[in-house]
Structure 1
Amino acid sequence: MKSHAATLLAEVRTFRQNHPDVRYVDLIALDIPGHFYGKRYPIEMLEKVAAGSPLKLPQNAVLLGAQGGLFKIGDYCFNDGDPDANRRLVPGTLKPVSWESQPLGQMLITSDGTEAPIEFEPREVLAKVLERLHHKGIHPVVAFELEFYLFDKKLDHGLPQFARDPLSDDADDQPNLHIERLSRFGDVLDDMAQTAKDQGIDITVITAELGPGQFEINFGHQGDGLRAADWAALFCRSTRGVALKHGYRASFMAKPYLQFPGSGMHVHVSLYDGAGNNLLAAHQQQPLRHAVAGCLELLPHCMPIFSPNHNAFRRLGGTVNAATRACWGFEDRDACVRIPESDPRNLRIEHRLASADANPYLVLAAILVGLEHGLEAKQEPIAPLNEDRASGTDFPVEMLDAVRAMQHQAVLRDKLGAEFVDVYCENKRQDHLAFQQEIHAREYRWFL
Structure 2
Amino acid sequence: MKSPSATLLAEVRTFRQNHPEVRYVDLIALDIAGHFYGKRYPVDMLEKVAAGSPLKLPQNAVLLGAQGGLFKIGDYCFNDGDPDANRRLVPGTLKPVSWESQPLGQMLITSDGTEAPIEFEPREVLANVLERLHLKGIHPVVAFELEFYLFDKKLDNGLPQFPRDPRCDDADDQPTLHIERLSRFGDVLDDMAQTAKTQGIDITVITAEIGPGQFEINFGHSDDSLRAADWAALFCRSTRGVALKHGYRASFMAKPYLQFPGSGMHVHVSLYDGAGNNLLAANQQQPLRHAVAGCLALLPHCMPIFAPNHNALRRLGGTVNAATRASWGFEDRDACVRIPESDPRNLRIEHRLASADANPYLVLAAILAGLEHGLEARQDPIAPLNEDRSSGTDFPVEMLDAVRAMQHQQVVRDKLGAEFVDVYCENKRQDHLAFQQEIHAREYRWFL
TM-score, scaled relative to structure 1: 1.00
- Two-structure CA RMSD over aligned residues (Å): 0.3
Give how far 1:6 is off.
0.2
Q: Which runs of 5+ in 2 are unaligned?
A: none
Q: Deviations over 1:53-91 (max 9, x none)?
A: 000000000000000000000000000000000000000
Give the aligned partner of residue 169 of structure 1. 169
DSSP 3-state at the match of 2:189: helix
How far apart, in 2, do the equivalents of 1:426 and 1:35 lie?
17
Q: Deviations over 1:374-401 (max 9, x none)?
A: 0000000000000000000000001000
Give how far 1:241 is off.
0.1
Give how far 1:318 is off.
1.1
Write out aligned runs for 1:131-170 (5 A). 131-170=131-170
How far apart, in 2, do the equivalents of 1:423 and 1:440 lie?
29
DSSP 3-state at the match of 2:162: coil
DSSP 3-state at the match of 1:53: coil
Give the aligned partner of residue 36 of structure 1. 36
Q: Which 4+ runs in 1 deviate beyond 2 A?
A: none
How far apart, in 1, do the equivalents of 2:401 and 2:225 lie?
30
Give how far 1:369 is off.
0.1
Give how far 1:259 is off.
0.2
Q: Deviations over 1:395-445 (max 9, x none)?
A: 000100000000010001111000000000000000011001011111011
Give how far 1:177 is off.
0.1
Q: Deviations over 1:119-146 (max 9, x none)?
A: 0000000000000000000000000000
How far apart, in 2, do the equivalents of 1:127 and 1:335 lie?
28
DSSP 3-state at the match of 2:367: helix
Give how far 1:166 is off.
0.4
Give how far 1:312 is off.
0.2
Give how far 1:264 is off.
0.1
How far apart, in 2, do the equivalents of 1:417 and 1:167 lie?
52
How far apart, in 2, do the equivalents of 1:91 and 1:318 lie?
41
Give how far 1:190 is off.
0.2
DSSP 3-state at the match of 1:37: strand
- 2:335 is aligned with 1:338: no
Q: Deviations over 1:333-370 (max 9, x none)?
A: 00000000000000000000000000000000000000
Give how far 1:217 is off.
0.3
DSSP 3-state at the match of 1:211: coil
How far apart, in 2, do the equivalents of 1:339 and 1:2 lie?
41
How far apart, in 2, do the equivalents of 1:328 and 1:206 lie?
26
How far apart, in 2, do the equivalents of 1:17 and 1:305 lie?
41
DSSP 3-state at the match of 2:268: strand
How far apart, in 1, do the equivalents of 2:346 and 2:414 lie?
30
DSSP 3-state at the match of 2:148: strand
Give the aligned partner of residue 65 of structure 1. 65
Give the aligned partner of residue 356 of structure 1. 356
Give how far 1:93 is off.
0.1
DSSP 3-state at the match of 1:87: strand
DSSP 3-state at the match of 2:372: helix
Q: Which runs of 5+ in 1 are unaligned?
A: none
DSSP 3-state at the match of 2:299: helix
DSSP 3-state at the match of 2:106: strand
Q: Deviations over 1:234-289 (max 9, x none)?
A: 00000000000000000000000000000000000000000000000000000000
Q: Deviations over 1:15-73 (max 9, x none)?
A: 00000000000000000000000000000000000000000000000000000000000
Give the aligned partner of residue 412 of structure 2. 412
How far apart, in 1, do the equivalents of 2:393 and 2:66 lie?
30
How far apart, in 1, do the equivalents of 2:441 and 2:181 lie?
36
How far apart, in 1, do the equivalents of 2:81 and 2:269 lie?
41
Q: Deviations over 1:137-161 (max 9, x none)?
A: 0000000000000000000000000
How far apart, in 1, do the equivalents of 2:221 and 2:110 lie?
23
Q: Deviations over 1:305-355 (max 9, x none)?
A: 000000000000111000000000000000000000000000000000000
Give the aligned partner of residue 253 of structure 1. 253
How far apart, in 1, do the equivalents of 2:21 and 2:406 lie?
48
Paired residues in the alignment total 448
How far apart, in 2, do the equivalents of 1:3 and 1:368 lie?
30
Give the aligned partner of residue 423 of structure 1. 423
